[in-house]
Amino acid sequence: STAYDVGSSTNIKWHEGAVPTENKEAIMQQKGCVVWFTGLSGSGKSTVACTLEHALAESGKVTALLDGDNIRHGLNSNLGFSATDREENIRRIGEVSKLFADTGIVTLVSFISPYRRDRDRVRSRVPEGRFIEVFMKVPISICEERDPKGLYKKARAGQLKGFTGIDDPYEEPLNAKVVLEAETADGKRISPQDQARTLLEYLHSKGFLT
C-alpha cells in the first residue's frame, strides 16, 4: 500500500460533494475566470487568446483555450451558423467554460459570439465578477482587408450566406471589461503581443493571478 492509498487510511475523512473551488485555486495560486473574446472574424481574437495563453503559462498559470478549432470540430460539430445554431454553440461553450472556471482555471474563450443576449446569458451562468468580456474592436474594413480565410471575399460575392458583419448581425458589447483596438488614435498598429500584455495586466490587477 502507498501513501496515496486512501482505502486503509484512518485520517481521510470522506465528504459529500466536490472539493471547493477555493481549494483548487489555492493549489494553483490563481482564480478561475472566463476571459471571453468577442469580435468579427479576422479581428484577432484567436491570435490574442493564444498569445495570452503562452504568457500565462510562462507565469506558471493553468489555462484552457476554447476556440473554433477544438470546439466546432468536436463538441459542436453538429452546429452551423444559423441564429439558433450560433445560440446553441455559445450556450454549450458557456457551460464548458463555467466548468473550467469552477475548477480554478483561467479559461480563454474565442468565438465571434455575435449576439448580445447569448453573451449575457453566459455571464449570468458564471460566478459574479469572473466573466471578463473582451471586445476586439476592429472595424470591418480592417478585418476584410486581412481576410485570412478568404471568407469576406466569398460573402461579398454572394457565395457564402449569413456571414457575420456582411449579411448577419454583430452586436457590439455595451460594457466590455476590456476593449482592444487594432490601432492607436494616431493610426499606429497595436500588436497582438501588446494586446495580450494589456489583458495580462488586467488579470493581475483584478487578483486573478494571485
Per-residue binding string, ligand PPS, 23-62, x by CB under 6 A, is ------------------xx---x----------------
Rama region for 129: left / alpha / beta (φ>0; ψ in -120 to 50; rest): left
Q: Which stretch binds ligand PPS (CB under 6 A): 21-29, 108-116, 181-189, 201-209?
A: 108-116
Which backbone phi and psi does 132 adopt, to 5 degrees? -110, 105
Three-state DSSP class for residue 183: strand
For the question of residue 113 being annotated catalytic, the response is yes
Residues 175-194 that bind ligand PPS (CB under 6 A): none
How many residues bind ligand PPS (CB under 6 A)? The answer is 19
**By the rule CB under 6 A, 94 interacts with ligand PPS:** no
Residue type, 182: A
**By the rule CB under 6 A, 68 interacts with ligand PPS:** yes
Give 46 or 97: the residue with its C-beta nearer to ligand PPS.
46
State the minimum distance, in angstroms, from the CB of residue 193 to ligand PPS.
19
How far is it, in rounded angstroms, from Cα 81 to Cα 166?
13
How far is it, in rounded angstroms, from Cα 129 to Cα 67?
22
Q: If residue 124 lies in a helix (H) or strand (E), which one and from where to where? A: helix 116-125
Locate 53 and state its grid cell.
495563453
Residue selected from 106, 151, 176, 209 as contacting ligand PPS according to rule CB under 6 A: 151
Residue selected from 51, 89, 97, 195 as contacting ligand PPS according to rule CB under 6 A: 89
Question: Could you tell me which of 22, 21, 35 has the C-alpha nearest to residue 206?
Answer: 35
State the minimum distance, in angstroms, from the CB of residue 30 to ligand PPS.
26
Residue selected from 30, 63, 97, 164 as contacting ligand PPS according to rule CB under 6 A: 164
Q: Are 77 and 92 in contact (CB under 8 A)?
A: no
The CB-based long-range contact list for 72-76 (8 Å cut-off, 24+ gap) reads none
Q: Which stretch binds ligand PPS (CB under 6 A): 25-33, 55-63, 134-142, 163-171?
A: 163-171
Residue type, 144: E
Give 153 or 204: the residue with its C-beta nearer to ligand PPS.
153
How far is it, in rounded angstroms, from Cα 148 to Cα 175?
28
| Catalytic center residues | 113
List interacting residues with ligand PPS (CB under 6 A): 41-42, 46, 68, 72, 81, 86, 89-90, 111-114, 149, 151, 162-164, 168
